[in-house]
Amino acid sequence: ASAGGLSSRRVPAGGHVKPRGTVCKGAPSDTDTEISEGIKAAVLELLDEDSDSVRVQLNEMLYQLESRNPTPYPTTSPLLNGEWEFKYLPGIAPGPVPSPTREIAMLMYAGGYTPGKFALDLSKRLPSSLLDISQTKIAISASQPRGKITASVKVLNNSFPVELRTSIEAESDVRMREVYLDAEAVGRDITLPQQLQTERVFYITYLDEDLLISRDESGTPDVLYRVGTANNSSSSGEAAASEGEGTSPGTGIEEE
């Protein structure tokens, strides 16, 4: 399966695969950098509008930015680690005729449309007084379970935090597999039986010091912004500068 025009080819032993549609330049010119920064600024401005009316324009800008991805091997880059806030979770675009079963069908047949996205789509369609999911973030660490997704959930007049722990494995230079392991809600741990654990494949199509774009198998993009970017700019820059030093290619594991 592929998303966003990326190939899901298996990586040869000891080698790297650069997917079609992803441009990675080791030493971009000043002009290229200015263009990329301009596109990125436009994307962030559209994200702040948070309106369905800008969806088409935003998707076009995302494709332009993804073609200028500055990180050659994003799944093993140290830039991936850290805390990220979900800025854009578009879900599935509405069909030509409104259908209450469209999201359910996508949940069943599209590997990337997970129960979490289904809940987020549902919360957008219901009045905020009934169900509201906000402050959705993911913290990615170097060791497993790498992912910890947190959100604030409001049901009727009751608000409570929800935490979901996931295993994230790099399968190629751009492809990753995420398995949902367990959750914590209302102070209770909920471990999912193995047969009920949901998993998905997604593709890192853009990664820099403060912006992350991924696409699931249906091609739907998620846009995340690093939490505390102003405070982390120096450390992120150091991570980018040291990428590839002390790291085994294709594993992201620090060599001793």
Could you report the per-residue pLDDT of 181-197, keeping only the tens digit for each? 887 877 777 776 776 66
Alpha-carbon distance 154 to 172, whole Å? 37
Tell me the pLDDT tens digit for each residue of 86-116: 888 775 444 444 444 444 444 434 444 454 5
Query: What's the angle, vertex CA 112, arms to CA 141 and CA 186, rounded to 5?
Result: 60
Q: Is the pTM of this model over 0.85?
A: no
* Cβ neighbours, 10 Å, residue 95: 10
Which residue in 55, 65, 110, 8 sits closest to 211, CA to CA? 65
Picking from 110, 96, 84, 107, the residue whose alpha carbon sits closest to that of residue 210 is: 84
Query: For the CA atoms of 155, 161, 93, 101, what is the dihedral angle to 10 degrees?
Result: -50
**Measured between alpha carbons, how far is 111 from 106 in angstroms, rounded to an integer?**
8
Rounded to whole angstroms, how far apart are CA atoms 69 and 55? 21
Lookup: tokens for 159? 């608000």
- pLDDT in single tens digits along all 256 residues of the chain: 444 444 444 444 544 444 444 445 555 677 888 889 999 999 988 888 766 678 888 999 999 999 999 999 999 999 999 999 988 877 544 444 444 444 444 443 444 445 455 455 544 554 555 656 777 888 999 888 888 888 877 777 777 788 888 899 999 999 999 888 887 877 777 776 776 667 889 999 999 999 999 998 888 898 999 998 654 444 444 444 444 444 443 444 444 4
